[in-house]
Amino acid sequence: MATTTAMLSLTSSDLLSGPLSVSASTTCMQAGTTTGLEKVEMGRGKVTVADGSKSLKLATAAGDDGATKVYLCNKATDPTYYIDVNIHDQRLGRLYAGDWLFMPWSQTDTVAELVIEAEGGSCEYEWAIFKEDETLVTAS
């Protein structure tokens, strides 16, 4: 079985009155099990101001209230270019040039799609979705 481990390490010498060092890691498992996530989808793209909002990935009613994790990175180099990140019409926040996110994503219905929108200029991005194997419905 696959094993996906996410790790984060933060260090700073001047954030507080003294040095700060924080690290954390987690192994991504299927919902309610000790089995690793089995599937990954990934890609790269570009979103521009002229594009308006763009669905990065659609949710599926078949899918999934599983243990899906999302990685998204704004690869822009101009610090004034950012990407607004939404789930459907709910804004989660902004990724400025070089920023990234890693979060759980519940695909409970078809209106839970991930939507991104560029502000300031053209933003290249990369993404990955780690998820459980999909159980397909039997055709009738």
CA end-to-end span of the chain: 31
Phi and psi (nearest 5°) for 73?
Answer: -135, 130
**pLDDT tens per residue across span 48-100:** 888 777 887 666 655 555 778 889 999 999 999 999 998 888 899 999 999 99
pTM above 0.85, yes or no: no
Strands (E), the chain: 4-12, 20-28, 39-47, 53-57, 69-74, 82-87, 90-96, 100-104, 114-119, 123-131
Instruction: Find out if CATH 2.120.10.30 is the number for domain 39-131.
Output: no
What are the domain boundaries of the chain?
39-131
Structure tokens at 92: 């989660």
**pLDDT tens per residue across span 23-52:** 988 888 888 888 877 778 888 888 888 877
Q: Is-contact 37 133, C-beta < 8 A?
A: no
